[in-house]
Structure 1
């Protein structure tokens, strides 16, 4: 298997496209696990709720949204590392359908 290095700071905020070229969200967070001296990317979080998680703003953000009348928040997905095509890091694309991804739905 070939390994590649991509600067994560350049991926954050990039729109992720599905197979039809439609934007499904932006990369807001990356989860990685340390293995020896290296960090291995496990999954990417995309969408609005992923941005709240990155900012550690769940508690306050969800309470504010609840006060504004939101009952269920949707706007993000967890994308396993192998389901995101980074051949062109400027145009990340899903290698699966949205149905195959775990949703980041939250209840306020």
Structure 2
């Protein structure tokens, strides 16, 4: 198995393309688990709700959005590590359809 390093700080904010080349949102957060002495990426959070997750502001952020009239946040996804092609880190691409992804919910 080949391992590859990608600097996470360079991925944050990058627009992710779906299978058709359409942008679905930006990488806002990365989740990882510790395995021994290493940290292994488990999933990428993409979209507006991921921004709230990144800022640890779910509760406050959702209340503010509700006050402004937004009751549901659309287009935020949890992308498993193996469903994101990082061959070109400047243009990450999904390796699956949007229907295969879980929505990011509080």
TM superposition score normalised by structure 2: 0.96
Moved >6 Å (runs of 4+) = none
Structure 2 unmatched runs, 5+: none
Q: How far is 1:70 from its partner?
A: 1.6
Q: Would the aligned equivalents of 2:33 and 2:42 in 1 still touch at CA under 8 Å?
A: yes
Q: Would the aligned equivalents of 1:72 and 1:105 in 2 still touch at CA under 8 Å?
A: no
SS of corresponding position for 1:50: helix
Per-residue CA deviations over 1:35-90 (Å, capped at 9, x if unaligned) read 11110000000001001100011111100111112222223100000000000111
Q: What do you get for the CA RMSD once the two structures are aligned?
A: 0.9
Distance in 1 between residues matched to 2:82 and 2:63, nearest whole Å: 34
Give the match for residue 45 of structure 2: 45
SS of corresponding position for 1:61: helix
Q: How far is 1:105 from its partner?
A: 4.0
Structure 1 unmatched runs, 5+: none
Tell me the matched-pair count.
Answer: 106
Which sits farther off after the overlay, 64-73 or 25-34?
64-73
Distance in 2 between residues matched to 1:43 and 1:79, nearest whole Å: 5
